[in-house]
Amino acid sequence: MPRYTTKTWAVLGIGLYAAVLVFFIARSVNGALTQPGNSDWVAFAVGSRLLHAGSCLYCTGPQLAATHAMGLYPGDGINPFVSLAPIAFVFEPLGLLPPTQGIPATLVVCGILCAIGVAFTARLLPHDWSPANRVFGALLSAGSLVGSVAFLQWQWAMLIVLLSSYVLQRRGSAFASGVVLSLLLVEPQVMWLALPMLLAARQWRTVLGFAVGAVGWLAVSVALVGPAEVLRWPGFVVDSHVGDAFRGMGLPATAAAIGNSGTAAVWSSALLGVAGCVLAYLLRDRLRAFPSHALALGVVLSLVAAPHVYAQDLTLLTLPVVLIASRRGNAAMLVMLGLSVVTAIGFLEVPNVLRLLPEVELVLAALVIVDLRSLYDARRTALPATLPTASRGHPVPVG
């Protein structure tokens, strides 16, 4: 029998995972092309067309009319545009195209963003990993199956934004990091608990940058559609999403399914949010010492506790993987592999298995907390080597 080296097994593993990934991507792309009415492109195109025409952006009637004008009839009756107005404006070059052109063009753009996200992740993974391990790690996290089930979406754009914010934070550009982080207001539910974590870590400049970015979002929205439309937006979002909360991939979706009520998802999300804030307070000293963990933990808990997240949003879990990879890389990769396995089983055979995704995410959150505590304890253990300090500022030898 031939003897296989570790490198051979690594190449085989990458090849097998890549084959499964290509299958899921092809499945998603085929669905977008053959059933354009149910494509995620529809919602963004509707927003772009209504904004371009000067119609009511957050009104059900005009949204339905715009959908039917494109010759599209979603299975649910409507695929609503619920994002802020600047998203509709940015999407106009693709959204104003007819569906036969707009959907393929958007798929190409998403493919490019996916490649950038995977390459960015590979660059951030530990440099002492072999090239094969870094490629495999990037595919397992940024290229995870959870992201490929809905290829025509913007999860990789959000990932690039999140990783950029992380890099800026690590380089000491806290204000710029916060401004970049505010771009995730495109889907605020993916980072809402990052704010209390950053506040607990006393990252005032990051929070200030985020606030400036949020004001920018609001100002541009008002400039595009006027204050009345901006005030209409929250109610429209609630009406559009509360009823289908059970479709999400967070713990509140499970509550909605058990209670057969979207309201249960809202209340459970609120309770989980409070629990997240309490956790931020309890970990405040550790988070203050290692603010990158505050950002990563906030993102994980946001995805677990949000009332309306989908599988593709879990691509953002790449950040905690990158953060802890140098110390707990094997465990982090096993978690991401677990997410892919659950996704494959759930989308191909047993949909109820997808309810395990939040629990797998919680394992990753626990890894981030364990990593945070060990780093903090190691720092505290090292401090007595130079403490206490004499009145003239010179360290007093210990022991």
DSSP codes, 318-382: HHHHHHHHHHHHHHHHHHHHHHHHHHHHHHHT-GGGGGGHHHHHHHHHHHHHHHHHHHHHHHHHH
pLDDT of residue 394: 44
Cα angle vertex 323, ends 19, 317, to 5°?
Answer: 50
Sorted by sequence, the CB contacts under 8 Å of residue 38 that are 6+ apart come out as 31, 74, 75, 79
Q: Are 56 and 76 in contact (CB under 8 A)?
A: no
Chain centre distance of CA 193: 12
pLDDT of residue 391: 41
Sorted by sequence, the CB contacts under 8 Å of residue 113 that are 6+ apart come out as 154, 156, 157, 160
Radius of gyration of the chain (CA): 22
Q: Are 249 and 314 in contact (CB under 8 A)?
A: yes
pLDDT of residue 397: 40
| Closest by Cα among 189, 185, 172, 237 to 215 | 185
- In whole angstroms, how far apart are CA 75 and each of 39, 254, 309, 342? 10, 23, 20, 26
* Run of H or E residues at 8: helix 6-34
Tokens of 96: 């104003």
pLDDT of residue 195: 95
pLDDT of residue 237: 84
Question: What is the mean pLDDT of each successive set of 10 residues along the chain, which is 399 residues long?
Answer: 55 78 87 83 92 92 91 80 92 93 93 94 93 89 87 90 97 96 92 95 97 95 93 85 72 82 83 95 95 97 90 93 94 92 88 89 96 90 55 40
**pTM greater than the 0.85 cutoff:** yes
Tokens of 354: 């997808």
pLDDT of residue 29: 87
Euclidean distance between CA atoms 245 and 254, whole angstroms: 9
Place of tokens 């959907």: 103
pLDDT of residue 180: 97
Place of tokens 């559009």: 240
pLDDT of residue 239: 78
* Run of H or E residues at 287: helix 284-289
